[in-house]
Structure formats: structure tokens, C-alpha cells
Amino acid sequence: MLVAKPLVFLACLVPFMQLAHGAFVGDLGANPLELVTNVTGLWGLRFLLLTLAISPLRRVSGWNWLQRFRRMLGLFVFFYISLHFLTWVWLDQQLDWSKIAADIVKRPYVTLGFTAWLLLVPLAATSTRGMMRRLGRRWQRLHRLVYVAGVLGVLHFIWLVKADLLQPLIYASLLLILLAVRWRPHLLGRLAWSGRTINAR
């Protein structure tokens, strides 16, 4: 389907459009800085988990077309997390570089988030087909860093939440499942098998 990619692209832009519209009409709630930080952080994490879910979902369902969306979703992770980072650097820290450096060193949740963002930079930079071809097997090894970025991102979320840990723990559990099926593919084999027997009934 020729329109599928543009449609998924537009769907991925919806959270950004909502923020841009809110900023344009001056309706970003009582604390716009907090809203933009939280929305971009949450969508960055959601897209990261979605990107990691593509391969296992494809293997369980046999829907190979899912693969076509993986790169786009991965780039949306970088887009939202970079917006999240920019919001902090620019609107929260007012581009005060010494304060930014001190915060990165002193506050563990910022250290974790910043390291996760740093790991995403080479992944976005090598996401083109040309780089994939040039790096060969090294490309796959490099792109495993997305799992490390995911773990750091989730730890960042757990660390910064002061009261209700339910939400970050839900994201942590989803990431754990994705890590488990990545390193223990036979778990996925069992899932696919039970899926097929249910379908056959």
C-alpha cells in the first residue's frame, strides 16, 4: 500500500502537532514547560518500545510488511527525545551551559537521560540505507545500542518519578519482555506456536 507510509508518518507527528497547536494558540496548560517535557519524553519512550516490538511482532504474526516502518519509527524516537532534550536545554536551563553541565554530572536521572540521548545520536546518523550497506555487520552491532538507550531511558523515568511508580514500571516491564524475546528467541517461538494453535481452533 503506497499510502501506508505517509499515513503512519502523519500519525507519528500527531503528538508534535498537538503541542505545536497548543503553543500557537497559547493553550499548553498551567505549566507549559512541564507539559512539553513530559509529552516529548513519553512519546520518545513509546516510539522506542514500538520500534523494538516490530521484529518480534513480525516473527510471531508473519506480517513482514511491519519491517517497512521500523526505520521511520526509530527516527521518531530520535525526533521526540531530541525535542525533549532541547526543551530542557533551552526552555528549562535557558542555555546556561555551566548549569547544564553541572546538572548532567550531579543529577543521576539527568545523567541517565543524557547518556541515552547520546547513544541515539550515532543510531540516527547511521540510519540511511547507504550507511547500512557501508557498515555491514557492524551496523547491526551498533544498532543494538537502542536496547541500552531503552534501559537508560526507563531508569531515567523510574528515577525522576517521586510518588506513583506504576507508569514507569509498566514501561520497564514492556522493555523487559522485549529484551527477553530478543535474547531468548525460543520464547517467541512458543508464543508464535500457541498463537497458531489458537488460530487453528
Task: Say whether residue 37 binds ligand HEM (CB under 6 A).
Answer: yes
Specify whether the CB–CB gap between 86 and 100 falls below 8 A: no
Task: Say whether residue 44 binds ligand HEM (CB under 6 A).
Answer: yes
How far is the CA of 97 from the CAs of 34, 81, 111, 113, 118, in angstroms?
A: 20, 19, 15, 17, 17
- Which three-class secondary structure state does DSSP give residue 65? helix
Q: By CB under 6 A, name the one of 15, 54, 84, 174 that touches ligand HEM.
A: 84
Within residues 109-168, the interface with ligand HEM by CB under 6 A covers: 110, 113-114, 116-117, 149, 153, 156-157, 160
Task: Say whether residue 174 binds ligand HEM (CB under 6 A).
Answer: no
How far is the CA of 28 from the CAs of 22, 31, 35, 37, 38, in angstroms?
A: 5, 7, 7, 12, 12
User: Shortest distance, CB of residue 186 to ligand HEM, whole angstroms?
Assistant: 29
Q: Provide the binding-site residues for ligand HEM, judged by CB under 6 A.
A: 34, 37-38, 41-42, 44-45, 81, 84-85, 88, 110, 113-114, 116-117, 149, 153, 156-157, 160
